[in-house]
Structure 1
Amino acid sequence: MIEFLLKASFALTVVFLFYKLILQQESFFALNRFYLLAGLGLAFVLPFVALPALINHQGYLTTAFQSPGQSAPPTWQVTEVPEKTAVSPEVSTSVTIKTSVGPEAKSSANATSNDSKNNFSGWFWLGLLYLFGVGIFALNLVFQVGSLFYQALKSEDKVNDGEAVIVNTSRPQAPCSFFKFIFIYPNNYDFATYEQILAHEKIHVRLKHSLDLLLAEVAVIVLWFNPVAWWFKREIEKNNEYQTDAALLQTEPINPQEYQFNLLQIAVPNKPLSITTNYNQSLLKQRIKMMNAKKSTASAYWKYSFLVPLFFGTVLIMNEPATSQELPFNDILLAARTVNPDDADLGNKAKPTRDKEPASEPDQPKNKQNSSIRYQQGDVDMAKGYWYSHQDGTDYCLELKGGQRASSWNMSECFSKKLFQKTGNAVYSMTNEVGTLQLNGNLEAEVSQGKYTFTENSNFKKYLAANNLVADDRNLLFHLFFANVNRAYVDFLKNNYAEVTGERLLESAIHNISMSDHQSYLGMFQQHSHKKPTLGEVIEAKIHGIDQKYVQEIEKMGFKDLSMKKMMEAKIHGVNAAYVADLKKTGITNLPMNKVIEAKIHNINPESVKALRALGFGELSLDNMMQLNIHGVDADYIKELQAAGLKNLTLDQTLQARIHNLGASTVKAIRDLGSKDLDFEQMVNAQIHGVNAAYIADLKKAGFQNVDLDKMVEAKIHDIDGNFIAQARKKGYNFNSLDKYITLKIHDGAIKALKD
């Protein structure tokens, strides 16, 4: 993680310096915007890009970043390893293992252990400090975004102006925008200036500059310790303003000098949030200078031609070559563990543990269900890599991986020892129709490691091609090898499935579906779905764990004629015999599988059924229980309503109250509006339409003192408030009745006959 952060910081610095030194003065603002955003993304991607070995000292920064703070390396001694795969003595771990143990070894182990503890403590506190900074800045971003949306949603004075929503704030602040929302305090400006500000901010909205600032904020959160990240964010803000100024002067009939004078005149000290694109900034001088600068000519585009060698060179400096001849001893063998050199007899104590799984056929690879294969299809070549092994009875349990220190994939499997032949000094091979796996290293040791090579069988590859069984994944034969897919297997598939492709064959191998598995699925589909399955349906059934045992379990529950698709749905949602038995204990019986699945999804169980039936609604159906569960109606909520005076509510009324968030506090607030004898429906209507104390006070201020709640709800539905009444009175509509104002609003203020 630390290495990644340092590399990302370095890449970001390269992007920043190139912009400041070469591109900053150019008026290609849209192109500069693309460069800044693309450079920001590349800074976090380039640390993962590895090129073939091209130059000396390639990946110098990787070596430099790994060197500081390393403790003295322990000594490893491994026997029967050929010279070409000899173990490197430099190992980044606190374990010291020797074939003989003496005082010297103990002393070395203790010293290494102490160094490791000190090193761990330092990195731990440094990492904790980094995470603390990430947390602080992340919370700050969340607060900014939340406060802006809260202000936009809660504002009562906002106008939907097509591409933007104008939020007229009640307190002075600098004009700014965030995505489609434009925040402005209109009382500070005359009409012409107000319109100019809106035109400026609408360009920010149209160009989606808020997205740029959000990405910059995220980069600052991750690299908060690096001042370049903060400077980079500032450059993105400046370029956004340059681009907006240029677009405004091109599209609007505005005199540049008047516009620049306006910028200075309306600059205010009220600083907006950092994630907003704001009209008034401290960079006014740079903006005015850029507006007056000579526009860049097309000949200046040559500067951007340096980007490819710039990023290419950055990768060469940062990252080691894609392939390496060194054995990855920075990875701990098979399991994270510490071995005490005082224990001369390691025995079973040193063995990594795993769950054994029987092979479907003798002397074949064990089930790959616990294997971990992580890689993007076709992106890596798995034909060469590294292996680690430990013995488990009659098996060799291997972990295969591709990288020297870290790998984009790994796979763990156990194989019968009978499958391996010793073909040389510490060279072992396993062969089948698909190819040969060769292991270089002492496989017979209790715990061992080395390099592997997988060689494809060219005849089998031609056989697949002749049958049009090819796949985009270059590792097709590698997976077929471990699944023991031979010609007989392929012929069986072609004889039994309407369509067999290389991709489907690959999926079958990865999910370890044997020939006997296929035969079993053919029978199950024929019996339960009355059709022959496609290969895709068989793979889907295997993925979801449908086997003969689960089918028999379903039948014992009383579900005799379910399709395989319905069985898969039941398995996905965890329906089993124990769950159906639980439902029967509650008296819920004879349910179709659809209802059982629905009940499981909504967590209907004996405890929840007992709690729901105790709510006082009589005998509840399963549908009623699921409704109550979905909306969170429980005994505490019922007691809360009853304490507020809402007793003897029906099931539907209780659900309605919960849906509209009617609780003790809201009931009290509604009653405090002036009427104590409100029925349930009136309370719900008031809650739904937002008739609250503030709204009542607004109407009273407008002269309506004693209006019943139903009439206030009707007025609120039609957006009648103090502001509307005041505006109507200015136009000559002076009424003493809310009904007339409602009529006026319905007819859009165009009833001259109603004027006094």
Structure 2
Amino acid sequence: MIPYILYTALILSACLMFYKLLLQKETFFQLNRLVLLSCMILAFILPLLPVPQQLSLRKDVIVKHIPLAETAVVKNQAVQLKAVPVQEVYIEQAKQTFDVDLLFHWLVYLYWFGVLIFALNFLMQACVLLYRAYSLSAIQDGKFRIVEITGDKAPCSFANNIFINPEKYEWETYTQILQHEKIHIEQKHTVDLLLAEVVLIFQWFNPFAWQWRKALESNLEFLTDDKMLQQDTVEKESYQFSLLKVAAPHFPLSLTTNYNQSLIKKRIIMMNSKKSSVHTTWKYFFLLPLLVLFVCLFNQPVAQGQTLNLNEESKEPNEHSNIQNGMDTEGSWFAVIKGNTVSIQFKNDESNNSSTTFQLSELKGLTKDMKGEFTITREAGIMNFEGKFEGNNGMGTYKFVASKNFSKEMAEEGVTITDESDLMVFFMVNVKTSYVKMLKKNGYKDIDKDQLIPLVSLDANEEYVTSIKQAGIPDFDLDDLIPFKSMGIDKAYIDEIRQAGYKNITADNIIALKSQGVNGKFIADFHNSTSSKDDDESGDNIIAFKSLNIDKKFIDSFKELGYNDLSNDDLMALKSLNITPAYINEFEKIGYKNLKPDDLFALKSLNITPKYIIEFEKIGYKNLKPDDLFALKSQNITPDLINEYKNLGFNDLDVDNVIAAKSMGVSPAFIKTMKEKGHNFKTLEKYIELKAVVGVN
């Protein structure tokens, strides 16, 4: 599985770099959407495709495997001396692979644990959205449902639901929001986002996958903006100004299409950029050769799967030889004795192997430096070994014989085990019937064999299980116990979190807190540093603070500037937008004191700097209000543009007049044209009226 997942990650990463370098700035938004979706799907399909050997660029070496059972026979013949070096090579190889195998297995557990966490997060988001959609009051507008929300939350859409606070916006802005979200719904953008979230579940470790989702979301917004501006009733400048008013310092769920502050600047730039020429479409054709190259380089050649295996030719099929978890019930073994333990590697062929450490005392009948037989007996069955130890290194063949009595006892306890390969896994982990009885005594009645294996492997013993049970977590089950043990969550940690104020916390909340490294001290600092009371029992704000690295020092630095009543959302927005006390001090130096958090967010989002403000002060515009600055920047009004108006005779220009002229398209060039036609007005307002009434371009 891991090689497949890494191969998928490699394809996804390469496609993202291709998109970033060649396609990201193109205005073929619909085509870019197709590319992003196709590459997401192909990344998971391509690794599974076989490639003809003549097209393959792999240089695989085909090694003939000689069964150790045959080697034992050869030893008794005249070529016995030649077999010894081969044995030494195998033993040396076993030494080198023990540690690698152990690391490999832990990586597998870590990967699936991550998949579990992100899958739960996905389901929780979906449930929250559906709950909000059908629990809040809504208006049916054709196929659209307009769900009314409250508070300072940005509008967003999911499926056919539009979430918006109608009291927050004036009619024109409200209408444009609905038009924008309806385009998202009509083009089924929720499907794109859901696919991206599914990819993240299986590629959570891949930073390129997170960037892929961000690129996909950005393109959807570019596409929607483009559709909006194609409508005759929507004016570009007015629409861009509406975006600035709508953007809010709130982070909606990732499954929704929403007004994201960090995207506003990019969207405005893209709306004002020059449309891509059809002659640049040649870039898209380079994607296909890139994908073909990956297939030829890494995929399994067809002919290789048809290579005869000497090991399979030399023996008849064994009806009990079922592979599970990379192991057969019989095969070869290599071992190294270390003190009172022995590490044994079980090997079936060139690719399937597993390593387990046993106590040396468990090996009954072992005699060093002599070829012979010995056994390891556990409740699940008996492992019969044949071979020889030379010093602390040994090799030979093994065969597992399952215990029918064990299967019967497990069935009586409600655990069904169907074949020997399952029993062999139970043998390797050393699952005992007493362990199942202990779990049932603690209230866990429905026990599955797939739950037992990780629990025993993680050494979730009776003391640990009992202590977690006594912690009294609501709706706690065995599936929660596995991540608890793997993450080191114990009763002391649970008590610490409860003492910090979270009395009714759930298992999922605890897992999320532990995964972010949140402890009681961090929670105490959080509550002591924030005056906000909007935290909830789930600890979502705590987790967000930890992930954004918002600590007491960060909060106190804003309190020193007088920001004593910042909400949790304000603090998260400040951190995500990289607004620092030093940034605020730059504005205070030029007279902008006591700026509100919303003003700071807008200043940062629009990239308004003190230098930009000083340039206006130089031409006489001092003490500009933040709202004036937002309007000037969103309309791309510069001091040079104002000087052009002044050169036409308009000396006493008000900021509002300049903004109105720019939004109406009354440019200096337009005024010059009108003057040439005999329209000589003394005020800029007259030219604005002329533009509005006559509609001259």
* Higher helix proportion (structure 1 or 2): 2
TM-score by length of 1: 0.46
Determine which structure has greater relative contact order: mean sequence separation of CA pairs < 8 Å that are 6+ residues apart, divided by chain length: 2
TM-score by length of 2: 0.49
